């Protein structure tokens, strides 16, 4: 872990300080460097970190160079991030992005207080710099050097002295910004479901939350299926989008559940006439309905009373009346 003050800083206007550098190179050098933090790959943002959150810093140069990283804190103190006794060498190969700490490092950089906006300065040089005038390791056990300069203006003046002997085209700087938030960012949202009836129940993503007309908090952000139930009403189903730090409102107007219509009465019924007399002719209400085949004949008749007659050679004519109220079966075995 990095000491608490090491990753925190606030930028304020001062002479010789611009949005892109703390010390201004009077010429356009052949060397270019860019510094980025892991939450801002473009270098144009000011992302927020919470206390104890991990952070990494990346540097890219267009030529082989030695990179020095500093952090200016909100209270004006300055920390030297690189070089240190944990990361090893600060040499960066041309057109290669180097991240500090490296992915396989056995330590991490961790954000700590105080709260505020921070500014990280990257100084790239074609030759190694002697920083003894501005920073030093106080003891043999110190992992990070202590910077004697205070605030941005003091750091700019100190670094200007360090680079003065160098050709102006052999060094360059770049900066990155980030903010340490006063509190952990809100990661949950709330949902209010209002209804026009009582005794409604709210079900979100298959889980019953409880009654309607209540605000439910600590919900994970995202689009969720919702169902609202109330006795005597059709269920209401939809989806809602819960957003972190806000309350999503859903108003449900219930419509009365309709009474199912009675099933229609069939206009005709099927009567299966069974008989052992193969080929017998069957008449219904005086009209021939068919012939017994394979011991059966299906006839369609309306509800009510019907006369059924069966005629077959060698058998007495069969005549009978039947009251049909449903699908059914009649067995007829006429005598000889």
Instruction: Give the pLDDT confidence score for residue 254 in this predicted structure.
Output: 86
| Domain annotation covers residue 262 | no
Q: Is residue 304 part of a domain?
A: yes
Q: In this structure, are 46 and 153 located in the same domain? A: yes
Asked if 221 and 95 sit in the same domain, the reply is no
Q: Do 25 and 123 fall within a single domain? A: yes
Shared domain for 35 and 149, answered yes or no, is yes
Q: Residue 293 maps to which CATH number?
A: 2.60.40.10
Does 232 share its domain with 284?
no
- Say if residue 109 is in the same domain as residue 60: yes
Residue 264 falls within a domain, yes or no?
no
Tallying the residues shown for the chain, one arrives at 336
DSSP 168-218: GGGEEEEEEEEEE-SSPPP--EEEEEEESSSS-EEEETTEEEEESSEEEEE
Same domain for 133 and 234, yes or no, is no
Looking up residue 200, the CATH number of its domain turns out to be 2.60.40.1120
Query: Whole domain around residue 307: which residue ranges?
Result: 269-331
172 and 211 share one domain: no
Q: Helical H runs in the chain?
A: 151-163
- Same domain? 207 vs 165: no
Same domain, 55 and 176: yes
**Does some domain include residue 91?**
yes
* Sequence-ordered list of residues with C-beta below 8 angstroms from that of 105, at least 6 positions apart, any chain: 86, 87
> Which residue's structure tokens are 């007495």?
316
Q: Is residue 261 part of a domain?
A: no
State the virtual CA torsion across 282, 284, 286, 288 in degrees, nearest 10. -40
Give the residues of the chain that fall short of pLDDT 50: 1-20
User: In this predicted structure, what is the pLDDT of residue 262?
Assistant: 67
Closest CA to 120 of 25, 13, 16, 46: 46
CB 50 within 8 A of CB 184: yes
Q: What is the pLDDT of residue 7?
A: 37
Residue 1's pLDDT is 33
Which residue among 130, 146, 180 closes a domain? 180
CA pair distance 219, 63, nearest whole angstrom: 50
Per the structure, how many domains does the chain have? Answer: 3
Strand order in the sheet with 214-219: 214-219, 189-195, 247-252
Whether 173 and 38 map to the same domain: the answer is yes
259 belongs to a structural domain: no
Whether residue 132 sits in one domain with residue 69 = yes
């Amino acid at each position: 872990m990095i000491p608490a003050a090491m990753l925190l800083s606030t930028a304020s206007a001062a002479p010789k300080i611009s949005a892109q550098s703390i010390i201004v190179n009077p010429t356009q050098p052949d060397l270019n460097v860019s510094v980025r933090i892991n939450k801002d790959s473009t270098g144009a943002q000011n992302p927020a970190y919470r206390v104890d959150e991990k952070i990494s810093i990346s540097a890219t140069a267009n030529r082989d160079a030695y990179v020095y990283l500093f952090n200016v804190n909100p209270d004006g103190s300055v920390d030297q991030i690189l070089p240190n006794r944990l990361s090893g060498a600060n040499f960066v190969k041309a057109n290669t992005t180097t991240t500090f700490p490296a992915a396989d490092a056995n330590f991490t950089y961790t954000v700590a207080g105080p709260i505020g906006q921070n500014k990280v300065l990257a100084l790239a040089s074609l030759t190694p710099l002697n920083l003894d005038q501005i920073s030093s390791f106080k003891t043999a056990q110190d992992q990070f050097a202590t910077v004697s300069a205070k605030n941005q203006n003091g750091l700019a003046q100190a670094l200007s002295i360090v680079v003065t002997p160098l050709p102006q085209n052999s060094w360059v700087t770049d900066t990155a910004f980030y903010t340490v938030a006063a509190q952990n960012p809100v990661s949950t949202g709330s949902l209010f479901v209002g209804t026009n009836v009582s005794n409604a129940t709210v079900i979100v993503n298959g889980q019953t939350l409880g009654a309607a007309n209540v605000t439910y908090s600590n919900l994970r952000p995202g689009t969720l299926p919702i169902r609202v139930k109330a006795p005597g009403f059709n269920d209401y189903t939809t989806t809602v989008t819960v957003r972190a730090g806000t309350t999503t409102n859903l108003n449900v107007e219930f419509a009365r559940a309709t009474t199912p219509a009675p099933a229609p009465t069939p206009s005709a019924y099927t009567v299966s006439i069974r008989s052992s007399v193969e080929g017998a002719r069957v008449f219904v209400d005086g009209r021939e309905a068919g012939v017994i085949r394979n011991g059966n004949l299906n006839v369609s008749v309306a509800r009510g009373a019907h006369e059924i007659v069966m005629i077959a050679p060698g058998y007495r004519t069969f005549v009978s009346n039947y009251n049909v109220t449903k699908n059914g079966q009649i067995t007829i075995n006429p005598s000889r």
